[in-house]
């Protein structure tokens, strides 16, 4: 493990050494698409390979040694994820395939608490996976969707909460961090609003989770979703934290094996949480990888990592502002912001910018980033996004800025 004692002796080379991709790709590899997926850390990759090649068996059902070991490892992974997010108990963590699955589960199960005419309050900054499941749920029960708008700086206008809340608001669903602007949402304020009307608060933590351990209890939310592949683990597993008293009362999502207590041809009774929400064979190897990543990340010096990420973000913002024709979307400062930036370049389509940046070894993303309402509110169709993770370095930022200057010189 790298030594990361903070106060300037931040061992970035050691940290990068924990991510096999960098040795595999060589020096001309500047990965700035971390908001789409993070690179896998060694601990997670080893956990995945170890399970699949040495210790593979299904969980929750076998009585032989290997199956028992797999079940224990799966439950240990759940406990490690619970530790990273500050859950009171491991049983509050449901293993899902990712944030999308987690939010669909939340919307489907919370439907049971909705009546026709009830309201679901979203925000304009949501990823489609925190919009569409609520539209589907709302249509099923006849609930109405409302959304908190943006301020002119691209942050949420939480002063509008008082107008948007009503006695019919049953759910508030919001992102902890925008995947387009990086703006961090004041979850405490939403939690207070939710409490004031007896609503449930669902938080999409996909973009916040990779930037350090969490305390879901202190946040004051009721459900919290994240994706393992963005948290430096494998693709295929994520998690949904559900406050235990709420989990007890929610009905299942998918039906099938391992989520039941008793099944007859006419009807079934269900297992307690979290198993009630985990029908069928879970993504075992990916869950073990997520547990290993969570445990490894929990041991890092996040004060030093935050300072490092903020330094890179400052340089990126300053460099982008200095390139003619580049316009930043959302907040211009680094306060209450994850290290990711979206921008447009006058006269050049975001896809073209990304393709040209690739010729400089720079990986960025162009498009609407599954956030069309947010782009519409910002007055653009699409944007280029550069997103920083703990292992990025100055060379990554300079490669992006140099490449972009060249692109603008050639095309704008
Ligand atoms: N929410 C946010 C804020 C995201 O950035 C993403 C991934 N781009 C998702 C949800 C969906 O995550 P996944 O595809 O891992 O389910």
| 276 pLDDT higher than 80 | yes
Q: To test the ligand 1 pocket, which listed residue (100, 180, 183) has its Cβ within 8 A of the most ligand atoms?
A: 100
Say yes or no: 290 and 315 in one domain.
no
CB 278 within 8 A of CB 258: yes
- Assess whether pLDDT exceeds 50 at residue 290: yes
What is the whole-number distance in angstroms between the Cα of residue 206 and the centre of ligand 1?
6
Confidence band (pLDDT; 50, 70, 90) for 407?
very high
329 and 284 together in one domain: no
Instruction: Look up the CATH number of the domain holding residue 279.
Output: 3.40.640.10
Same domain for 188 and 204, yes or no, is: yes
Secondary structure string (H, E, C) spanning the chain: CCCECCCCCECHHHHHCCCHHHHHHCCCCEECECCCCCCCCHHHHHHHHHHHHHCCCCCCCCCCHHHHHHHHHHHHHHHHHHHHHCCCCHHHEEEECCHHHHHHHHHHHHHHHCCCCCEEEEECCCCHHHCHHHHHHHHHHCCEEEEECECCCCCECHHHHHHHCCCCEEEEEEECECCCCCEECCHHHHHHHHHHHCCEEEEECCCCHHHCCCCHHHHCCCEEEEECHHHCCCCCCEEEEECHHHHHHCCCCCCCCCCEEEECCCCEEECCCCHHHCCCCCCHHHHHHHHHHHHHHHCCCHHHHHHHHHHHHHHHHHHHHCCCCEEEECCCCCCCECCEEEEEECCECHHHHHHHHHCCCEECEEECCCCHHHHHHHCCCCEEEEECCCCCCHHHHHHHHHHHHHHHHHHC
Given a cut of 50, whether residue 386 has pLDDT beyond it is yes
- pLDDT tens track for 39-62: 999 999 999 999 999 999 999 888
What span, in angstroms and rounded, lies between the C-alpha atoms of 363 and 236? Answer: 22
Provide the residue range defining the domain that includes 350.
7-31+301-411
Mean pLDDT of the chain: 96
Domain closes at, from 274, 298, 322: 298
Asked if residue 294 and residue 153 are part of one domain, the reply reads yes
Query: Does one domain contain both 234 and 317?
Result: no
Please indicate whether residue 370 is annotated as part of the active site: yes
Check whether residue 210 and residue 240 sit in a common domain: yes
Residue 149 has pLDDT above 80, yes or no: yes
Final residue before a domain boundary, out of 266, 298, 330: 298
Q: Is 94 part of a structural domain of the chain?
A: yes
Furthest C-alpha separation in the chain: 70
Residues 380 and 392 reside in one and the same domain: yes
Note whether 18 and 77 are same-domain residues: no
Q: Using a 6 Å cutoff on CB, does residue 100 contact ligand 1?
A: yes
The CATH number that applies at residue 11 is 3.90.1150.10
Give a yes or no: residue 306 inside a domain. Answer: yes
pLDDT digits (tens, 9 = 90+) for 10-22: 899 999 999 999 9
Give residue-wise pLDDT tens across range 155-186. Answer: 999 999 999 999 999 999 999 999 999 999 99
Q: What is the mean pLDDT of residues 127-140?
A: 98
My answer on whether 344 and 399 are in the same domain is yes
Q: Verify that 240 and 313 share a domain, yes or no.
A: no
Examine residue 1 and state whether it is found in any structural domain, yes or no.
no
d(CA 19, CA 370): 27
Q: What is the predicted pLDDT for the residue at 10?
A: 82
Same domain, 91 and 118: yes
Taking residues 355-364, report their average pLDDT. Answer: 98
- Percent of the chain exceeding pLDDT 90 equals 96
181 lines ligand 1 (CB under 6 A): no
Is 283 in the same domain as 331?
no
Res. 200 pLDDT band, cuts 50 70 90: very high
175 lines ligand 1 (CB under 6 A): yes
| Number of domains, the chain | 2
Is the pLDDT score of 103 beyond 90? yes
């Amino acid at each position: 493990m790298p030594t990361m004692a903070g106060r300037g002796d931040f061992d970035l080379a050691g940290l990068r050494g924990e991510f096999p991709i960098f040795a595999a790709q060589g020096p001309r590899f500047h990965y700035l698409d971390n908001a789409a997926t993070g690179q896998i850390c060694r601990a997670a990759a080893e956990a995945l390979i170890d399970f699949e090649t040495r210790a593979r068996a299904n969980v929750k059902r076998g009585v032989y040694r290997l199956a028992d070991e797999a079940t224990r490892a799966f439950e240990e992974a759940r406990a490690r994820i619970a530790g990273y997010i500050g859950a009171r108990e491991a049983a509050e963590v449901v293993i899902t395939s990712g944030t999308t699955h987690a939010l669909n589960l939340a919307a489907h199960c919370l439907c049971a608490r909705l009546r026709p005419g009830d309201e679901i309050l979203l925000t304009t900054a949501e990823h489609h996976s925190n919009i569409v499941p609520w539209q589907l749920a709302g249509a099923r029960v006849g609930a109405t969707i409302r959304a908190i708008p943006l301020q002119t700086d691209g942050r949420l206008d939480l002063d509008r909460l008082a107008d948007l809340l009503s006695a019919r608001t049953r759910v508030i669903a919001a992102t902890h961090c925008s995947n387009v602007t990086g703006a961090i949402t004041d979850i405490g304020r939403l939690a207070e609003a939710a409490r004031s009307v007896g609503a449930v608060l669902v938080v999409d933590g996909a973009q916040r989770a990779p930037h350090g351990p969490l305390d879901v209890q202190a946040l004051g939310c009721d459900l919290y979703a994240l994706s393992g592949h963005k948290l430096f683990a494998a693709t295929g597993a994520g998690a949904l934290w559900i406050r235990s008293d709420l989990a007890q009362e929610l009905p299942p999502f998918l039906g099938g094996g391992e989520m039941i207590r008793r099944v007859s041809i006419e009807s079934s009774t269900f297992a307690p949480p979290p198993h009630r929400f985990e029908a069928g064979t879970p993504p075992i190897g990916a869950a073990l990888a997520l547990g290993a990543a969570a445990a490894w990340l929990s041991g890092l010096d996040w004060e030093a990592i935050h300072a490092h990420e903020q330094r890179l973000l400052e340089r990126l913002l300053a460099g982008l502002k200095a390139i003619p024709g580049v316009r930043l979307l959302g907040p211009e400062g680094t306060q209450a912001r994850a290290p990711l930036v979206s921008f447009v370049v006058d006269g050049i389509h975001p896809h073209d910018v990304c393709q040209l940046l690739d010729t400089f070894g720079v990986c960025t993303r162009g498009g609407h980033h599954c956030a069309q309402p947010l782009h519409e509110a910002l007055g653009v169709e699409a944007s280029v996004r550069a997103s920083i993770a703990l292992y990025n370095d100055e060379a990554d930022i300079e490669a992006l800025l140099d490449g972009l200057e060249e692109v603008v010189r050639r095309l704008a």
